[in-house]
Amino acid sequence: QCVLTGRWMNELGSNMTILAVNGKGEFSGLYHTAVTATMNEIQVSPLQGSQHRTNQKSHPTFGFTVNWSFSDSVTVFTGQCFVDDEGNEVLKTMWLLRSQVDDIKNDWKATR
């Protein structure tokens, strides 16, 4: 069974800590990215999320938002927790990052 709470690291060296998931499936935590497109100094950033709790599924789906402390952007992640053949918990996610732009004409380049 997958449990989201704890410290997670990806293959690029970014890491996050998810604090306790409450009875509604809500959680918060911290994200420290190892990569950025800005020249700003990377800082630990807060995250807020929700885990799908129906029937206490053993491989829950979840989503969370990171409000980057060092840039004018926000990233949303969605994914699912799995247990691999060796018994390791693995999060598989996709993300969208929205950067701030000054004009609607530049909207096309604001989401990655």
Res 1 pLDDT > 80: no
Q: What's the mean pLDDT in 42-54? A: 90
Give the amino acid at 9. M
6: Cβ–Cβ under 8 A, 6 or more apart, which residues? 17, 18
pLDDT of residue 56: 62
pLDDT exceeds cutoff 70 at 10: yes
Q: Is the pTM of this model over 0.85?
A: yes
Report in angstroms the alpha-carbon separations of 46 from 30, 31, 59.
5, 6, 24
Helices (H) and strands (E) in the chain, counts: 0, 7
- What is the pLDDT averaged over residues 73-101? 93
pLDDT at 55: 60
**Average of per-residue pLDDT values in the chain:** 91
The CATH code that applies to domain 6-109 is 2.40.128.30
Tokens representing 6 are: 């704890």
